[in-house]
Each structure stands twice: as C-alpha cells, then as structure tokens.
C-alpha cells in the first residue's frame, strides 16, 4: 500500500540538504563546542556558521539567536525569561490568545500561578484576534504579549505586526510563535516590531530536537536553563552540533524557496478542496479557519456526521496520514481548544480533520485522498 503523508504541520521529512549537513557534522567525530582543542573548535565553527546563515535569512544579528532543543523550549524560554525580567521592572501582565499552541498557553498559565495577571484574548469564527481587543488588553503594566503568526490547526494568520506596534507603544515585549509560519511568511526581524520569536527545525524539513529563540538586542530577558556558559550563558547545555548544522541547511532551502513552497502547498490544498467538492459535494464538508488570511499548507475540514476519530482511523487504514489537530494532543479524545475558541458548533468540532501539505506532496495525492474520503463517507451515509 502506497502511503500519503498529509501531516506536515506535525513534523516534516528531512530535506536531502539537511540530511547531508547532519551526516557531515555527525561524521566529523566527537565534538563538544565548549572544548578548547581542535575538535571542539571545529564544532564551534559549525555552530557559528549556522548562526550566521540563519541570522542573515531572518534579518537579524547572529548575536540575537539562541539555539534551543525545540519550539516548545523556545516558547517557554521567551515567556518565562521575558516575564520574569519585566517583573523586576514592575510589569506583571501577560496577554495571549485563546488559540495559541499549548507550549504558550500552558506556560502562560504557569506564569499566572506565579502571580502574573493573565489576559487571554478571544477570537472570531475564523480564529483571528481583534486589534481592538488587543489594544484594550495591552496596558502600561503588561510585561509580555504572545501571539502566534500562523495557527498550527487552522492556518489562520494573526496581525502580528499591528499587535507588535500596540505592544511597543505600551513598552511591553512582543513574542511571536512562528513555528508554523517560518518558511512561508516573510520575516524580516529588523523591520518587524517583534522582540522574541520562536522557531522549530523539524517543521521546515530539518531535524527534530532543534529550535531557536530570537531575542532582540536590549530586550529584558532571563535564561530559563542554568548551568554552563553555552550560547553566551543564555541556554545551558551542550549544543546539538549536527542538528544545528542541519537546521541551517533546511532554513536556507525553506527561505530561499519560500515563494515556490507557498505555491506548491497552495496548489495541493486547492486541489484537495476541488476534489472533495467533486467527490462528496460542497455541502458535505466545512473548511475551518480564515478563507484568505491563512497559511497555504494547512487545511482543517469538518465532515459532519463522521467523528474525527472514525475518519482518521479509516484514512490511516487506507494509507493516508492526517491529524485531528495539534500533534501534542495525539491519542487524546479532547476536542480542539482552537476550534472551541472559535465557537464552532459541536458537530463541526467533533468531526474536524487537519490535512497539512509539504515536501513530496502532489495534486494527484490530493485527488486520491478525496476519492478515499468519498468511500469512507458512503459508509456513514
């Protein structure tokens, strides 16, 4: 059975360039970048080269990049580090949205337990935040505002530049989770009103276990991890040299081919919708998320009358990998907090499936998927 992988929002296959960079670095022998001997210096040079390359792609200084072990660590480091530093300046407010990834939401709730005042902004039926709500919530005592660039479940984009300007006026720090958006949206950090930005390698065809946190020069921020002096004492722990080298290779491909990546993903997504309309009728499914302000590779669809679990199980048996929402909730029967925040009807929430596209996907696969869904749907008619 030929399998079709439509779960790129969960994790992506490594790009050949990233694999080559990983193997080259991993094959170089034991290498601790903190060691003073030749092998250690060689490892340190690999990390410096990766840092320089990614900084150029993001439009920031290499000194503003901190390599981490994941996107979750980057989110947590941004929030705890900025909030605790801001508390020393008398700021104790946290503003975020109801549709953030759990790496942000749960970190914010932990900060609330530490005494910070948490404001969770609502979203509209498309999962988008109101600028008016954001302006009202961000005050003179706000420490950090955290808003994701593009949603991992629906693809809906948030007005991060506009919210960043609101935060800047109030002297609050702006954090953006760009894990899903990196490689699709243009992100020039010299121009955007963003103080902290989180990215993960395995969402852009790099390896798992590597992320980065951008910390704008001069931003009040305290390290989350304590130990050695790695990453200029901003993130203790021996660096993942091979992973970082592969991250840089994947980022180079993703950002230099950003326009074509968008076009390829959009074409597969559009074909999937065309074929679903042709195979089961447009009245048999509903697309969740913003119709225009969205990422191209995420397609969240509800099939009323067929539970998410039933659809996913049948798709899996037919060789198609998809998701019910965030990969962090795999195996969970809990409804999507993102779709609940959008106040969708229960039948839409309970029948939602996320398809996400990327490297290796084709419009032929989209057509095959629609035909399989038509067969599945007929069983529940």
Q: What confidence tens digit (pLDDT) does each residue in 49-80 have? A: 999 999 999 999 999 999 999 999 999 999 99
Q: How confident is the model at residue 184, as a pLDDT?
A: 97
- Confidence check: pLDDT of 328 > 60: no
Residues paired with residue 145 on neighbouring β-strands, in sequence order: 95, 174
pLDDT band at 254 (very low <50, low <70, confident <90, very high): very high
Please, which residues have CB within 8 angstroms of residue 139's CB and are 6 or more apart in sequence?
Answer: 93, 170
Q: What percent of the chain clears pLDDT 70, i.e. is strictly above it?
A: 97
Helix (H) or strand (E) holding 346: helix 346-349
pLDDT band at 326 (very low <50, low <70, confident <90, very high): low
Check residues 2 and 66 and name the one with the higher pLDDT: 66
What is the arithmetic mean of pLDDT over 230-245?
92
Q: Specify the range with the lowest mean pLDDT, choosing from 129-143, 174-188, 249-263, 326-340.
A: 326-340
In this structure, the number of other CB atoms found within 10 A of the CB of residue 316 comes to 12
Q: How confident is the model at residue 36, as a pLDDT?
A: 87
pLDDT band at 35 (very low <50, low <70, confident <90, very high): confident
Q: Provide Rg for the chain, Cα atoms.
A: 21
pLDDT band at 106 (very low <50, low <70, confident <90, very high): very high
Q: DSSP per residue over 254-319, as a string?
A: HHHTHHHHHHHHHHHHHHHHHHHHHHH-GGG-EEES-SSSB-SSEEEEE-TTS-HHHHHHHHHHTT
Same domain flag for 152 and 235: yes
Q: Which domain-ending residue is among 256, 291, 317?
A: 256
List b or e across 48-87, with b for residues whose CB sees 16 or more CB atoms inside 10 angstroms. Answer: eebbebbbebbebbeebbbbbbbbbbbbbbbbbbbbbbbb
At 337, which CATH number?
A: 3.90.1150.10
- Confidence check: pLDDT of 32 > 60: yes
What's the domain count of the chain?
A: 2
Helix (H) or strand (E) holding 59: none
Q: How confident is the model at residue 23, as a pLDDT?
A: 97
Q: What residue numbers bound the domain in which 372 lies?
A: 4-12+257-379
Q: Which domain-ending residue is among 256, 276, 308?
A: 256
Same domain flag for 163 and 251: yes
Look over the chain and give the mean of its residue pLDDT values, rounded to a whole number.
95
Same domain flag for 39 and 146: yes
Same domain flag for 201 and 235: yes
CA distances from 380 to 308, 311, 350, 376 (A): 13, 10, 15, 7
36, burial (CB in 10 Å: exposed 0-12, middle 13-18, buried 19+): exposed
State the pTM of this model. 0.95
- Please say if 328 is a catalytic residue: yes
Contact 300, 352 (CB under 8 A): yes
Q: How confident is the model at residue 373, as a pLDDT?
A: 98
pLDDT band at 333 (very low <50, low <70, confident <90, very high): low
Same domain flag for 187 and 332: no
Contact 175, 71 (CB under 8 A): no
Same domain flag for 44 and 187: yes
pLDDT band at 281 (very low <50, low <70, confident <90, very high): very high
At 161, which CATH number?
A: 3.40.640.10
Q: How confident is the model at residue 1, as a pLDDT?
A: 53
Instruction: Scan for tokens 């290779």, then name that residue.
Output: 249
Contact 155, 357 (CB under 8 A): no
- Confidence check: pLDDT of 248 > 80: yes
Same domain flag for 362 and 312: yes
Q: Which domain-ending residue is among 256, 281, 299?
A: 256
Catalytic residue among 48, 328, 332, 333: 328
Same domain flag for 270 and 141: no
Same domain flag for 311 and 190: no
Q: How confident is the model at residue 156, as a pLDDT?
A: 98
What is the arithmetic mean of pLDDT over 259-271?
98
Same domain flag for 278 and 218: no
Same domain flag for 241 and 315: no
Same domain flag for 91 and 168: yes
């Amino acid at each position: 059975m030929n399998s079709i992988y439509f779960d790129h929002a969960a994790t992506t296959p490594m790009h050949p360039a990233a694999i080559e960079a990983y193997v080259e670095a991993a094959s170089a022998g034991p290498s601790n970048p903190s060691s003073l001997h030749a092998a250690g210096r060689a490892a340190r040079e690999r990390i410096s080269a990766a840092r320089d390359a990614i900084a150029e792609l993001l439009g920031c200084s290499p000194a503003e990049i901190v390599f981490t072990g994941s996107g979750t660590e980057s989110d947590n480091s941004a929030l705890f580090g900025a909030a605790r530093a801001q508390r020393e300046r008398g700021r104790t407010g946290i503003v975020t949205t109801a549709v953030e990834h759990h790496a942000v939401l749960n970190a914010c709730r932990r900060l609330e337990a530490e005494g910070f005042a948490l404001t969770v902004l609502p979203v509209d039926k498309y999962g988008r935040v109101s600028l008016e709500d954001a302006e009202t919530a961000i005050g003179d005592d706000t420490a950090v505002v955290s808003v994701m660039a593009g949603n991992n479940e629906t693809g809906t984009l948030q007005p991060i530049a506009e919210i960043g300007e609101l935060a800047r006026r109030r002297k609050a720090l702006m954090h953006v989770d760009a894990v899903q958006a990196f490689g699709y949206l243009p992100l020039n950090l010299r121009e955007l009103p963003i103080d902290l930005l989180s990215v993960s390698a395995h969402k852009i065809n790099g390896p798992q276990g590597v992320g980065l946190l951008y910390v704008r020069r001069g931003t009040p921020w305290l390290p989350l991890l304590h130990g050695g002096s790695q990453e200029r004492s901003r993130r203790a722990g021996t660096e993942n040299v091979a992973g970082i080298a592969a991250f840089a290779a994947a980022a180079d491909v993703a950002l230099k081919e950003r326009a074509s990546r968008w076009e390829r993903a959009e074409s597969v997504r559009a074909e999937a919708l065309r074929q679903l309309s042709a195979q089961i009728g447009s009245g048999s499914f509903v697309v969740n998320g913003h119709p225009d302000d969205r990422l191209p590779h995420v397609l969240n669809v509800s099939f009323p009358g067929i539970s998410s679990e039933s659809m996913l199980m049948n798709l899996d048996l037919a060789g198609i990998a998809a998701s019910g929402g965030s990969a962090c909730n795999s195996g969970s029967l809990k409804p999507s907090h993102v779709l609940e925040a959008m106040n969708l009807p229960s039948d839409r929430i309970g029948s939602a499936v996320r398809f996400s596209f990327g490297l290796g996907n084709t419009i032929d696969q989209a057509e095959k998927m629609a035909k399989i869904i038509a067969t599945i749907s007929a069983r529940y008619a």
